[in-house]
Amino acid sequence: MHVPLPAPAGIEGIKEVITTCRSAFEHLNVTIEDMVAEGDKVVARFTARGIHSGDFMNLPATGKPITITGIEIFRIKDGKIAELWGEVNLLGLMQQLGIFSSP
């Protein structure tokens, strides 16, 4: 099952994604596991942990702890983020929240 997420547009879009995640997962803590830079690109691999305490993707709070991993690639221009690409393990999150069972 594919659940489309709106692509953030600019700084306001990024703020909206962060606000949505922080309101859905209390005690959200993001750890940068690795960060690599080459040329105009910076890649960050992260792990986020929290408690599902609010609506997320139309799923009411479950109170379950979650751990989610992902990778983001930033293109830097003139010292600022010009582009951002990211992949997050949403299937793993859905399994933790009980939406999908683990194989």
pLDDT, tens digit, for every residue of 37-87? 999 999 999 999 999 999 988 889 999 999 999 999 999 999 998 888 999
Instruction: Report how many domains make up the chain.
Output: 1
The answer to whether position 71 is within a domain reads yes
The answer to whether position 103 is within a domain reads no
pLDDT at 8: 54
The answer to whether position 48 is within a domain reads yes
The answer to whether position 5 is within a domain reads no
Q: For the domain that residue 31 is a member of, what is the CATH number?
A: 3.10.450.50
Q: Which residues pair with 74 in a beta bridge?
A: 42, 84
The answer to whether position 102 is within a domain reads no
pLDDT at 11: 79
The answer to whether position 55 is within a domain reads yes
The answer to whether position 21 is within a domain reads yes
The continuous run of DSSP H or E covering 22 comes out as helix 10-24
The answer to whether position 87 is within a domain reads yes
Give the domain range for residue 77: 10-96
Residue 9 pLDDT exceeds 80: no
